[in-house]
Amino acid sequence: MKLLRIYADTSVFGGCFDEEFAEESKAFFEDIKAGKFMLVISDTALGELERAPDYVQRILTELPAERVEVIDFCDEIALLRDAYLKAGIVGPESKADAEHIAAASIADVDFVVSWNFKHIVHYEKISGYQAINLINGYKEIRIYSPKEVVDNDEE
């Protein structure tokens, strides 16, 4: 069975310390440790994590290195990010959010997880990202919250 490659933005790391999002965020990272998923992150995420408190940074450093893939920033990411911005999917103040989606798209991940319901996990934004991806020759990007990805034992 193919190991799913999942891009997580920094909201998932911080979510481990937010009462509303902690359970699913922690479960997501436990799934990575258990070998269920490969975590894909970008230079953008690494930069944001460097500015985060140590306890948030520790989430990444405690993951097995073989379960983490880092996508280096490149011109291709910048071009796709700029296409999202030009299309008005998000405004210039959300450039980093567009960069997360561009990096995930360039890396051809299976899907993205985020707790950012304003600029990423929102039906209008998702359809916008998908349209720009298709116009530019990339596949449609699938975007979910961690709650939709981790096993939920409440059934």
Report pLDDT digits (tens) over 90-121. Answer: 999 999 999 999 999 999 999 999 999 999 99
Rounded to whole angstroms, the Cα distance separating 144 from 58 reads 24
Give ∠ CA 50-87-140 in degrees, rounded to 5: 75
Res. 153: pLDDT tops 80:
no
Domain count of the chain? 1
Under the banding of pLDDT at 50, 70 and 90, the label for residue 2 is confident
pLDDT digits (tens, 9 = 90+) for 46-75: 999 999 999 999 999 999 999 999 999 999
Res. 155: pLDDT tops 80:
no
Residue 50 covered by a domain? yes
Look at residue 53 in the predicted model and tell me its pLDDT.
97
The answer to whether the beta carbons of residues 70 and 42 sit under 8 Å apart is yes
Residue 153 covered by a domain? no
Query: What is the domain extent for residue 11?
Result: 4-148
Residue 31 covered by a domain? yes
Look at residue 112 in the predicted model and tell me its pLDDT.
98
pTM of the model: 0.95
Residue 62 covered by a domain? yes
Residue 119 covered by a domain? yes
Domain CATH code at residue 33: 3.40.50.1010
Residue 154 covered by a domain? no
Res. 152: pLDDT tops 70:
no
